[in-house]
Structure 1
């Protein structure tokens, strides 16, 4: 699993701060955040299973 690009990381950061774009960009913004959260959860599961 790769790390987000600089642009994606910036978008994730502003999303987590509560700032939102107007539609349809907000849909892509939310989709990216959901993917990032899912990636974090999968990494957590992989870590826990590895113990």
Structure 2
């Protein structure tokens, strides 16, 4: 019996790891999007001058 609960625990750990990785990816995508927006805004400012 202990073996199945151990397996389940491993599976839960894997799921948690995956969720954490996905959150990191989403965060870096947001960061990238912010940088792109910033660059676009800076270009518009340069063009306005």
Whether the TM-score (by the shorter chain) exceeds 0.5 is: yes
Under TM normalisation by the shorter chain, which class is it? 0.5 to 0.7
Question: Comparing both chains, which one has the higher relative contact order based on Cα–Cα distances under 8 Å and sequence gaps of 6 or more?
Answer: 1
Count of paired positions: 30
Cα root mean square deviation, aligned: 0.6
- 1:32 counterpart residue number: 28
TM-score of the two chains, using structure 2 as the length reference: 0.59
Q: Which consecutive residues of structure 2, in runs of 5 or more, have no partner in the other structure?
A: 1-17
Q: Which has the larger radius of gyration?
A: 2
